[in-house]
Amino acid sequence: MLFEKETEALKLISFPVGSYQCNCTVIFQKETKKAIVVDPGNDLELIKRVMSHFGLTPTHLIHTHAHFDHIGQSDTFRQQTGAKLCLHKGDQFLFDMLPMQGKFFGQTVGTPGPVDQYLEHHDELGDSLSEKDFIKVLHTPGHTPGSISFYTEEFGEPILLSGDTLFENSIGRTDLPGGDGKEIIKSIKDKLLTLPDETLVITGHGAMTSIKEEKQFNPFLC
Protein backbone atom coordinates (compact mmCIF):
# COMPACT_ATOMS: atom_id res chain seq x y z
CA MET A 1 0.00 0.00 0.00
CA LEU A 2 1.38 3.39 -1.01
CA PHE A 3 -0.50 6.43 0.27
CA GLU A 4 0.37 10.11 -0.07
CA LYS A 5 -1.24 13.25 1.28
CA GLU A 6 0.06 16.80 1.41
CA THR A 7 -0.62 20.40 2.26
CA GLU A 8 1.22 23.49 1.12
CA ALA A 9 3.81 22.96 3.85
CA LEU A 10 3.72 19.26 4.77
CA LYS A 11 3.77 15.90 3.04
CA LEU A 12 2.76 12.46 4.35
CA ILE A 13 3.78 9.26 2.62
CA SER A 14 3.05 5.73 3.84
CA PHE A 15 4.54 2.54 2.39
CA PRO A 16 5.27 -1.06 3.47
CA VAL A 17 8.72 -2.03 4.75
CA GLY A 18 10.50 -5.11 5.99
CA SER A 19 9.88 -8.81 6.29
CA TYR A 20 6.29 -8.44 7.51
CA GLN A 21 5.44 -5.40 5.34
CA CYS A 22 4.86 -3.02 8.23
CA ASN A 23 3.33 0.24 7.03
CA CYS A 24 5.89 2.97 7.68
CA THR A 25 4.70 6.58 7.52
CA VAL A 26 6.95 9.59 6.94
CA ILE A 27 5.68 13.10 7.62
CA PHE A 28 7.96 15.92 6.55
CA GLN A 29 8.17 19.66 6.15
CA LYS A 30 8.68 20.49 2.50
CA GLU A 31 10.88 23.54 3.04
CA THR A 32 13.17 22.38 5.87
CA LYS A 33 13.09 18.67 4.87
CA LYS A 34 12.79 17.71 8.54
CA ALA A 35 10.83 14.49 9.05
CA ILE A 36 9.04 12.39 11.65
CA VAL A 37 9.18 8.67 10.85
CA VAL A 38 6.47 6.39 12.23
CA ASP A 39 7.37 2.69 12.57
CA PRO A 40 10.59 2.53 10.49
CA GLY A 41 10.43 -1.25 10.75
CA ASN A 42 13.32 -3.59 10.06
CA ASP A 43 14.39 -2.53 6.57
CA LEU A 44 16.86 0.25 7.20
CA GLU A 45 18.17 0.35 3.64
CA LEU A 46 14.73 1.09 2.21
CA ILE A 47 14.10 3.82 4.79
CA LYS A 48 17.47 5.37 3.99
CA ARG A 49 16.63 5.36 0.28
CA VAL A 50 13.36 7.18 0.99
CA MET A 51 15.19 9.71 3.17
CA SER A 52 17.74 10.25 0.40
CA HIS A 53 15.12 10.50 -2.36
CA PHE A 54 13.34 13.39 -0.62
CA GLY A 55 16.50 14.83 0.96
CA LEU A 56 15.09 14.36 4.47
CA THR A 57 16.59 14.64 7.93
CA PRO A 58 14.61 12.68 10.55
CA THR A 59 14.08 14.41 13.90
CA HIS A 60 11.94 11.74 15.63
CA LEU A 61 11.37 8.01 15.18
CA ILE A 62 8.00 7.33 16.78
CA HIS A 63 6.56 3.86 17.23
CA THR A 64 3.09 2.43 17.62
CA HIS A 65 4.64 -0.45 19.58
CA ALA A 66 7.91 -2.29 20.06
CA HIS A 67 7.51 -5.47 18.02
CA PHE A 68 10.55 -6.16 15.86
CA ASP A 69 8.80 -5.64 12.52
CA HIS A 70 7.98 -2.05 13.58
CA ILE A 71 11.13 -1.08 15.48
CA GLY A 72 13.81 -3.66 14.67
CA GLN A 73 16.43 -1.32 13.18
CA SER A 74 15.36 1.95 14.80
CA ASP A 75 18.28 2.04 17.21
CA THR A 76 20.75 1.81 14.33
CA PHE A 77 18.77 4.44 12.42
CA ARG A 78 18.96 6.72 15.47
CA GLN A 79 22.74 6.22 15.76
CA GLN A 80 23.19 7.16 12.10
CA THR A 81 20.93 10.22 12.10
CA GLY A 82 20.68 11.58 15.64
CA ALA A 83 16.88 11.36 15.58
CA LYS A 84 15.07 10.80 18.89
CA LEU A 85 13.69 7.28 19.45
CA CYS A 86 10.24 7.47 21.03
CA LEU A 87 7.70 4.93 22.28
CA HIS A 88 5.33 4.25 25.17
CA LYS A 89 6.93 3.07 28.41
CA GLY A 90 4.58 0.09 28.52
CA ASP A 91 6.60 -1.50 25.72
CA GLN A 92 9.99 -1.02 27.35
CA PHE A 93 10.21 -4.77 28.04
CA LEU A 94 9.74 -5.54 24.33
CA PHE A 95 12.31 -2.94 23.37
CA ASP A 96 14.78 -4.52 25.79
CA MET A 97 14.06 -7.89 24.13
CA LEU A 98 14.99 -6.69 20.63
CA PRO A 99 18.04 -9.00 20.37
CA MET A 100 15.78 -11.97 21.17
CA GLN A 101 13.08 -10.73 18.80
CA GLY A 102 15.71 -10.34 16.09
CA LYS A 103 16.74 -13.97 16.43
CA PHE A 104 13.14 -14.99 15.78
CA PHE A 105 13.28 -12.99 12.53
CA GLY A 106 16.69 -14.42 11.64
CA GLN A 107 18.54 -11.15 12.21
CA THR A 108 21.31 -10.18 14.60
CA VAL A 109 20.42 -7.13 16.69
CA GLY A 110 22.59 -5.55 19.35
CA THR A 111 21.31 -4.41 22.73
CA PRO A 112 19.58 -1.08 22.06
CA GLY A 113 20.46 2.15 23.79
CA PRO A 114 17.99 3.96 26.06
CA VAL A 115 14.71 5.38 24.78
CA ASP A 116 15.04 9.13 24.16
CA GLN A 117 11.43 10.07 24.85
CA TYR A 118 8.46 8.18 26.29
CA LEU A 119 5.11 9.01 24.73
CA GLU A 120 1.93 9.19 26.83
CA HIS A 121 -1.79 9.40 26.11
CA HIS A 122 -2.76 12.87 24.85
CA ASP A 123 0.84 13.95 24.22
CA GLU A 124 1.15 16.10 21.12
CA LEU A 125 3.97 16.05 18.58
CA GLY A 126 4.99 17.84 15.43
CA ASP A 127 6.57 21.11 16.53
CA SER A 128 9.86 19.93 15.05
CA LEU A 129 8.18 20.27 11.63
CA SER A 130 5.63 23.00 12.16
CA GLU A 131 4.95 26.02 14.33
CA LYS A 132 2.43 23.90 16.24
CA ASP A 133 1.98 20.34 17.43
CA PHE A 134 -0.46 18.50 15.18
CA ILE A 135 -0.06 14.80 15.98
CA LYS A 136 -1.97 13.51 19.00
CA VAL A 137 -0.88 10.37 20.86
CA LEU A 138 -3.61 7.91 21.87
CA HIS A 139 -2.64 5.09 24.23
CA THR A 140 -4.42 2.02 22.84
CA PRO A 141 -3.16 -1.02 24.78
CA GLY A 142 -4.17 -4.58 23.97
CA HIS A 143 -1.93 -5.72 21.15
CA THR A 144 0.89 -4.79 23.51
CA PRO A 145 0.75 -2.89 26.83
CA GLY A 146 2.37 0.16 25.27
CA SER A 147 0.55 0.22 21.93
CA ILE A 148 -0.27 3.75 20.82
CA SER A 149 -2.01 5.29 17.83
CA PHE A 150 -1.33 8.66 16.22
CA TYR A 151 -4.09 11.03 15.09
CA THR A 152 -3.88 14.19 13.01
CA GLU A 153 -6.28 16.59 11.30
CA GLU A 154 -3.50 18.54 9.58
CA PHE A 155 -4.05 17.09 6.09
CA GLY A 156 -7.57 18.28 5.33
CA GLU A 157 -9.23 15.11 6.60
CA PRO A 158 -8.55 13.25 9.83
CA ILE A 159 -5.95 10.48 9.62
CA LEU A 160 -5.25 7.78 12.20
CA LEU A 161 -2.12 5.65 12.31
CA SER A 162 -3.44 2.67 14.25
CA GLY A 163 -0.41 0.40 14.29
CA ASP A 164 -1.44 -3.20 14.98
CA THR A 165 -4.45 -2.21 17.08
CA LEU A 166 -7.07 -1.81 14.34
CA PHE A 167 -7.09 -3.40 10.88
CA GLU A 168 -9.52 -3.48 7.98
CA ASN A 169 -12.40 -5.55 9.40
CA SER A 170 -10.09 -7.00 12.01
CA ILE A 171 -8.03 -6.23 15.11
CA GLY A 172 -4.47 -6.91 16.23
CA ARG A 173 -3.50 -10.28 17.63
CA THR A 174 -3.36 -10.57 21.41
CA ASP A 175 -1.65 -13.95 21.87
CA LEU A 176 1.88 -12.51 22.08
CA PRO A 177 3.58 -11.42 25.34
CA GLY A 178 1.63 -8.58 26.93
CA GLY A 179 -1.41 -9.00 24.68
CA ASP A 180 -4.90 -8.63 26.16
CA GLY A 181 -8.05 -9.39 24.15
CA LYS A 182 -10.47 -7.46 26.36
CA GLU A 183 -8.19 -4.46 26.55
CA ILE A 184 -7.73 -4.11 22.80
CA ILE A 185 -11.51 -4.05 22.26
CA LYS A 186 -11.86 -1.41 24.97
CA SER A 187 -9.09 0.68 23.44
CA ILE A 188 -10.70 0.57 20.02
CA LYS A 189 -14.21 1.34 21.20
CA ASP A 190 -13.28 4.04 23.72
CA LYS A 191 -10.47 5.82 21.87
CA LEU A 192 -10.69 5.06 18.14
CA LEU A 193 -14.36 4.58 17.26
CA THR A 194 -15.07 7.90 18.97
CA LEU A 195 -13.05 9.67 16.27
CA PRO A 196 -14.90 11.24 13.29
CA ASP A 197 -16.45 8.68 10.92
CA GLU A 198 -14.51 10.12 7.99
CA THR A 199 -11.16 9.39 9.65
CA LEU A 200 -8.84 7.50 7.30
CA VAL A 201 -7.01 4.67 9.07
CA ILE A 202 -3.48 3.72 8.06
CA THR A 203 -3.13 0.31 9.67
CA GLY A 204 0.05 -1.40 10.81
CA HIS A 205 -0.05 -3.83 7.87
CA GLY A 206 -2.14 -4.14 4.74
CA ALA A 207 -4.98 -2.01 3.41
CA MET A 208 -6.27 1.28 4.71
CA THR A 209 -9.76 1.60 6.11
CA SER A 210 -11.94 4.22 7.84
CA ILE A 211 -13.58 4.58 11.22
CA LYS A 212 -17.00 4.49 9.53
CA GLU A 213 -16.12 1.23 7.78
CA GLU A 214 -14.98 -0.40 11.01
CA LYS A 215 -18.04 0.74 12.94
CA GLN A 216 -20.27 -0.86 10.33
CA PHE A 217 -18.45 -4.01 9.29
CA ASN A 218 -15.75 -5.06 11.74
CA PRO A 219 -17.01 -8.39 13.19
CA PHE A 220 -14.80 -8.05 16.29
CA LEU A 221 -16.50 -4.81 17.31
CA CYS A 222 -20.16 -5.82 17.05
* pLDDT value, residue 102: 86
Confidence label for 44 from pLDDT (cuts 50, 70 and 90): very high
- Contact yes or no for 89/137 (Cβ under 8 A): no
pLDDT digits (tens, 9 = 90+) for 189-205: 999 999 999 999 999 99
Query: Percentage of residues in the chain with pLDDT exceeding 90?
Result: 92
Mean pLDDT within 37-59: 96
Give the predicted TM-score (pTM) of the model.
0.97
Q: Is the pLDDT of residue 218 over 90?
A: yes
Q: Is the pLDDT of residue 1 over 80?
A: no
Q: Is the pLDDT of residue 168 over 80?
A: yes
Q: Is the pLDDT of residue 211 over 90?
A: yes
Instruction: Round the average pLDDT of the chain to a whole number and report it.
Output: 96
Find all residues with CB under 8 Å of 87, minimum gap 6, and list them: 62, 63, 65, 66, 71, 95, 115, 118, 119, 146, 148
Q: What are the structural domains, with CATH classification, of the chain?
A: 3-221 (3.60.15.10)
Separation of alpha carbons 37 and 52, rounded Å = 14
DSSP code string of 112-127: P---SEE--TT-EE-T
